[in-house]
Chains A and B, each alone.
Chain A
Amino acid sequence: MATNQPIFSDAIINQITTAQTPTTLQNFFKTGVSKEVREALLVSFLSTGQDPLSILDVRTHTLGVLYILSARVSASFGITPPPSWQLVQDFCTNFDREQARLAPERITKLAKGIHRLASHVGNPSLAIPPLQDLISHYPPHPSYLTTIHPIFLLACTSTHNFTSTLPVLSTPITNIDTAALSPDLTYSDNLTYHYLGGIALAALKKWKEAEEYFEICVTSPGTVPAALQMEALKKLRLVQLISCGKISTLPKYTHPQLLRLFKATPYHAFISAYPHNTQQLNDICEKEKITFAQEKNIGLIQQSLVRASRWSLKKLTATYVTLHLSDIAKAVKIDDENEVRALLLSMIESSDIHASISSTGSVTFLDPPPQFTKSDVDAVLQSMQSQTDLLIELDAEVGRGKDFLSKIVKSGGGDPSATWAAVQGEEELLLSGVGMGMGMLAWDE
């Protein structure tokens, strides 16, 4: 082909507008055009000089527009003019999801291209609304993880738009479809999504939720631990210190090498000294501040230091019923009584302790008052029932899997009756709700 010969997209547009079904069109794109030529055709204009995107309808011709748009946002902008933001936003709001799901890899390309285009125009935040629309419309349910999720979270966290992540993060991921919905989804997409989700939630001081997301990242099974999992573990531990004053045991399926490697980091020493040994904590911070800063954990370290006295105060509630402000000040090593008063108020406000202060400065620690009603109990029971149903469904799905069945047969020593009895026994346990798995696996609302 001559280098200077112009390329027009008339043939492509003709196919898009005359294809009998979207599947026919998808077959055309897959087999009717060679890969080398396809992208060049998709970014080119019509022979009349018109932009093909201006004549195609976003909803009726979703698949065609998806191919063209994803090519245009991925092209070199110096050569090919990028599409307008209005068009990008219009597509992400109004596309036909059934058509779009015929070309999942183009959806990934589009999402990456949107992020790239926003950076190109000098405003990365511009990518957030269209990506948010893509995430809410593309998968059949918000619980499905797609390739758009990590790209969206990266756009939000890199621009400090953390509140934009909340509608997406509020639904935990329980489904992955690599057959049709996201065949190009990778293991690291899952890690990245949950890691960035933890960061966004921690930035908004939603410590419990951040802890969950970091834990999912840390405990995702793999042959070898990923570097991202180590970073997530460091943040997880710091978030736990900030939230509860202590760390909790990780699930048994956490990769053991992760924990071994973590012990060699300065974070392990920091956790060991937390919260009472303030001098040692300050020494560690001073000594390792470059490491903490390089790993972008200095903010979490500082927050955990500020909250150390809170946990020292909380420990007093286990021993004393009444104390004076001055006694508390001595115990938590704060000189100013007004500071202790402010700390107490803050802890009462966030329900970390239940106490009352009198005008004489005497503080009485109280038992937490009952905070639930009958309807709360019923709501929790309903939630438990739906979680149990979900668990039974997931278990049945795993039980139908080829890998699981072959493992059961092997471990049963080839005796089918022993195998099926074991599987049936597990099902009975789940149905009766006796298993302690019920409590462990119920999600926080």
Chain B
Amino acid sequence: MTGPPTPPATSPIEFQDQARSNAAEQAQVQVQAQSASAVPAAAPSASSLASYSDNRPEIYQNAIPDIINAIKINDFTTLVQITEELDFTTASDRQPSRLLVVAPLVLGYLILDNTSAAKYALLRLSDNLLNVGLSCALQSLVVATSNREHAKVYDQANALHKLVSQEIPDKEFASIIITLLSAFIEGFRRRTFELLSKAYTSLPVQLACVYLDWPEAGVVKVAERQGWTCDPSTKTFSPQLQPAMTRQTGASSFSSLDTFHFVADSVARLEV
């Protein structure tokens, strides 16, 4: 038994509805049809990086303003939400334009220090996209961050910065990636600084420079601003645990009236 075929759209409104509801699938099919012969073999090349800027499907184009807004207000949780929702729709896209979503998503996760999620965002890429230069650079950054190889993190970040600045002609996209990269490095340095404050009683200046990827003068300046003391004769820091990093063990801000209610309720329950 068969039903009748779907009637073709006959009015402009029906055409628009049909196009809107199948936007993701049609974009994928159209892009594949146009550039099927130009899809590179699994080898990274500058031309593959350039190709996704030439023909940005509408679905990515529409998301860029929201992504830029989220980055402007440093709301990386929203950035991750926007890019993840888009990632659901474009998961089967084999075109390099998919990186317009995945790269900000990965960097967003790294900024939020969620390296596992960043890793899986990259793993969801199709095999041809995994070998593109940008993907390889992101993978190296994710691995170094996950393993807390501090010196490598900065090296990989610099390499990614160079790749994006020099090899991606889409200036808007490059700007997004560079801004996210800066935010990531800033957050990574801050977390590393807090860890060093917690873990070290005395720390050689040279080692601090490696951990923070700053020249000696810069490290000394920042460290002293954060309350670390520096002994120039032995060239060591004495880190200070920051007040924000310590849990308050003294008087809490818990309201005394709330405490009264809580105690009264608890006693009443015992007597039930």
Chain A residues with CB under 8 Å of chain B are 1, 3, 6-7, 40, 43-45, 49-51, 79-81, 84-87, 121-126, 128-129, 159-164, 203-205, 342, 344-346, 348-349, 355-360, 364, 370-375, 378, 381-382, 385, 431-432
The CA-CA distance from A375 to B251 in the complex, in Å, is 10
The answer to whether B262 has its CB under 8 Å from any CB of chain A is yes
Whether A359 and B7, one on each chain, are in contact in the complex, defined by CB atoms closer than 8 angstroms, is no
Whether A163 and B254, one on each chain, are in contact in the complex, defined by CB atoms closer than 8 angstroms, is no
Among the listed B120, B148, B262, which residue makes an inter-chain contact with A378, where contact means beta carbons less than 8 Å apart?
B262
Whether B3 and A86, one on each chain, are in contact in the complex, defined by CB atoms closer than 8 angstroms, is no
Binds A, one of B47-55, B56-64, B131-139, B192-200: B192-200
Whether A346 and B200, one on each chain, are in contact in the complex, defined by CB atoms closer than 8 angstroms, is no
The CA-CA distance from A181 to B7 in the complex, in Å, is 37
Residues of A close to B249: CB separation below 8 A: 370, 372-373
The answer to whether B22 has its CB under 8 Å from any CB of chain A is yes
Would you give 18 A-B contacts (Cβ < 8 Å), ordered by A?
A1-B1, A6-B3, A6-B4, A49-B4, A51-B6, A85-B25, A86-B21, A123-B92, A159-B91, A161-B88, A163-B114, A342-B149, A346-B148, A349-B198, A355-B199, A356-B199, A358-B202, A385-B266
Whether A163 and B88, one on each chain, are in contact in the complex, defined by CB atoms closer than 8 angstroms, is no
Among the listed A6, A125, A358, A372, which residue makes an inter-chain contact with B201, where contact means beta carbons less than 8 Å apart?
A358
Whether B247 and A371, one on each chain, are in contact in the complex, defined by CB atoms closer than 8 angstroms, is yes
Question: What's the least CB distance linking A73 to chain B, in Å?
Answer: 14
Whether B117 and A204, one on each chain, are in contact in the complex, defined by CB atoms closer than 8 angstroms, is yes
Whether B88 and A126, one on each chain, are in contact in the complex, defined by CB atoms closer than 8 angstroms, is yes
Whether B88 and A385, one on each chain, are in contact in the complex, defined by CB atoms closer than 8 angstroms, is no
Question: What's the least CB distance linking B22 to chain A, in Å?
Answer: 6
Q: What 7 A-B pairs have minimum CB-CB distances, sorted nearest first?
A: A86-B21, A84-B21, A125-B91, A123-B92, A359-B202, A49-B7, A375-B254
Whether B199 and A79, one on each chain, are in contact in the complex, defined by CB atoms closer than 8 angstroms, is no
The answer to whether B116 has its CB under 8 Å from any CB of chain A is yes
The CA-CA distance from A129 to B85 in the complex, in Å, is 8
Residues of B close to A80: CB separation below 8 A: 3
Whether B116 and A203, one on each chain, are in contact in the complex, defined by CB atoms closer than 8 angstroms, is yes
The CA-CA distance from A50 to B6 in the complex, in Å, is 8
The CA-CA distance from A124 to B3 in the complex, in Å, is 26
Residues of A close to B84: CB separation below 8 A: 161, 163-164
Chain B residues with CB under 8 Å of chain A are 1-7, 18, 20-22, 24-25, 84-85, 87-89, 91-92, 114, 116-117, 120, 123-124, 148-149, 195, 198-204, 207, 234, 236, 247-249, 252-254, 259, 262, 266, 269-270, 272
- What number of residue pairs across chains A and B have CB atoms under 8 A from each other? 139
Whether B252 and A162, one on each chain, are in contact in the complex, defined by CB atoms closer than 8 angstroms, is no
Whether A382 and B262, one on each chain, are in contact in the complex, defined by CB atoms closer than 8 angstroms, is yes
Among the listed B89, B252, B270, which residue makes an inter-chain contact with A375, where contact means beta carbons less than 8 Å apart?
B252
The CA-CA distance from A348 to B192 in the complex, in Å, is 12
Residues of B close to A126: CB separation below 8 A: 24, 88-89, 91
Nearest neighbor of A204 in chain B, beta-carbon distance: B116
Nearest neighbor of B195 in chain A, beta-carbon distance: A349
Whether A125 and B88, one on each chain, are in contact in the complex, defined by CB atoms closer than 8 angstroms, is yes
Among the listed A86, A348, A355, A432, which residue makes an inter-chain contact with B195, where contact means beta carbons less than 8 Å apart?
A348
Whether A205 and B89, one on each chain, are in contact in the complex, defined by CB atoms closer than 8 angstroms, is no
A203 in contact with B120 given A79-B2, A125-B87, A359-B203 (CB within 8 Å): yes
Whether B272 and A45, one on each chain, are in contact in the complex, defined by CB atoms closer than 8 angstroms, is no
Residues of A close to B200: CB separation below 8 A: 356-359
Residues of B close to A86: CB separation below 8 A: 20-21
Nearest neighbor of A79 in chain B, beta-carbon distance: B2
Residues of A close to B1: CB separation below 8 A: 1, 3, 7, 40
Nearest neighbor of B237 in chain A, beta-carbon distance: A359
Among the listed A81, A161, A357, A374, which residue makes an inter-chain contact with B6, where contact means beta carbons less than 8 Å apart?
A81
The CA-CA distance from A357 to B197 in the complex, in Å, is 10
A1, A50, A125: most-surrounded residue (chain B CB, <10 A):
A125
Question: What's the least CB distance linking B152 to chain A, in Å?
Answer: 11
The CA-CA distance from A203 to B121 in the complex, in Å, is 12
The CA-CA distance from A431 to B148 in the complex, in Å, is 49
Residues of B close to A375: CB separation below 8 A: 252-254
Supplied contacts A51-B6, A123-B92, A346-B148, 8 more A-B pairs, CB within 8 Å: A43-B3, A44-B3, A49-B4, A50-B7, A85-B21, A123-B24, A375-B254, A381-B262
Whether A345 and B262, one on each chain, are in contact in the complex, defined by CB atoms closer than 8 angstroms, is no
Among the listed B91, B117, B236, B270, which residue makes an inter-chain contact with A359, where contact means beta carbons less than 8 Å apart?
B236
Residues of A close to B266: CB separation below 8 A: 381, 385
Question: What's the least CB distance linking A22 to chain B, in Å?
Answer: 26
Residues of B close to A374: CB separation below 8 A: 252, 254
Question: What's the least CB distance linking A135 to chain B, in Å?
Answer: 15
The CA-CA distance from A378 to B162 in the complex, in Å, is 52
Whether A122 and B92, one on each chain, are in contact in the complex, defined by CB atoms closer than 8 angstroms, is yes
Residues of A close to B25: CB separation below 8 A: 85, 121, 123
